[in-house]
Structure 1
Amino acid sequence: MSELKTRPTAASVSEFLAQQGDQRRADCEAVLRMMEAATGERAEMWGAAIVGFGRYAYTGSNRKTFEWPIVGFSPRKNDLTLYLMPGFEQRAELLGKLGRHKTGKSCLYLKKLADVDLDTLQALIDCSVDAMALQRIRR
């Protein structure tokens, strides 16, 4: 792995979200507001399909340092995918209150926001931002 393919771009977040269907766009706009509130950062496009907030530094297995969003989301075909670092090992109680979802290592998969408790989702996002505080890059 020499360089990450997913990097910040100058693409418009609002134009990207405008391409989504009505319900998915409304869900994305709600998540956008939640993540902006948690990070205090404006949204930016990372690659063609990820909306990211803030940045943190990590060192890959090749010993190179990369940047990645502190939190982010992407309206994928089957799910609204939220990227929450560093994962969910310490979040079982919150996940139990969240509602219908699936998880990957650091991905939270939602069909629609109506399936989840929004206060619990905000708490998960806030926990993610707090967990990354030491690695956060301040601009």
Structure 2
Amino acid sequence: MADNQTKATEQSVEEYIAAIDDESRRKDCQALIKLMTKVTRQPAVMWGSSIVGFGSIHYQYESGREGDICLVGFASRKGDISVYGLRAAPNHEQLLASLGKTRSGKGCLYIRKLADIDMKVFETLIKEAVTAKGKA
């Protein structure tokens, strides 16, 4: 069975953020670090080369595949900020419906800029996801 490629690393979160060319995106990512640190009470850690993650949780699928992944995290991508780990919130669909201008993928939420979303709803979504994973 293949190893999980996304693991916590020693890479600098500050260097990752500083390398984001767009100043507005960089500020949004800094705001996400503050918010996710506050909610999870965990420091920001690089997972792989491009995900800023907070906390960790062990998972095991029915197939037997298992590993560790961040509770919640984000990555600055070309067009959006991808946010991970929010679908664990019991009422994530209702919260996503009132969040604002976003798109959803299989396992992540895409946000163009934080000004497009309701930050109180977003904080609730993060809190509920972390709580549902038993880490609050």
TM over 0.5: yes
Q: Is the 1:82–1:107 Cα contact (8 Å) retained in structure 2?
A: yes
Query: SS at 1:3's partner residue?
Result: coil
TM-score after normalising by structure 2: 0.91
Q: Is the 8 A contact 1:55 1:68 kept in 2?
A: yes
Alpha-carbon distance in structure 2 between the residues aligned to 1:81 and 1:107: 6
Structure 1 runs not aligned, ≥5 long: none
- Segments of 4+ moved more than 4 angstroms: none
Q: Which residue of 1 aligns with 2:28?
A: 27
Q: Residue 61 of structure 1: CA displacement?
A: 4.9
Change (3 A) 1:109 1:89: farther
The letter of the residue matching 2:109 is L
Does 54-63 or 116-125 show the bigger shift?
54-63
Determine whether 1:43 maps to 2:77. Answer: no
1:7 has 2:7 as partner: yes
Matched-pair contact (CA < 8 Å) for 2:86–2:92: no
| % identical equivalent positions | 37
Q: CA deviation at 1:78?
A: 1.1
The size of the alignment, in residue pairs, is 134
For 1:16, give the aligned amino acid. Answer: Y
RMSD: 1.6
Counterpart CA distance in 1 for 2:46 and 2:96 is 27
How far apart, in 2, do the equivalents of 1:105 and 1:129 lie? 19
- TM-superposed deviation, 1:38: 1.0
Distance change >3 Å, CA 80–CA 39, structure 1 → 2: same
Contact 2:72 2:130 in 1 (8 A): yes
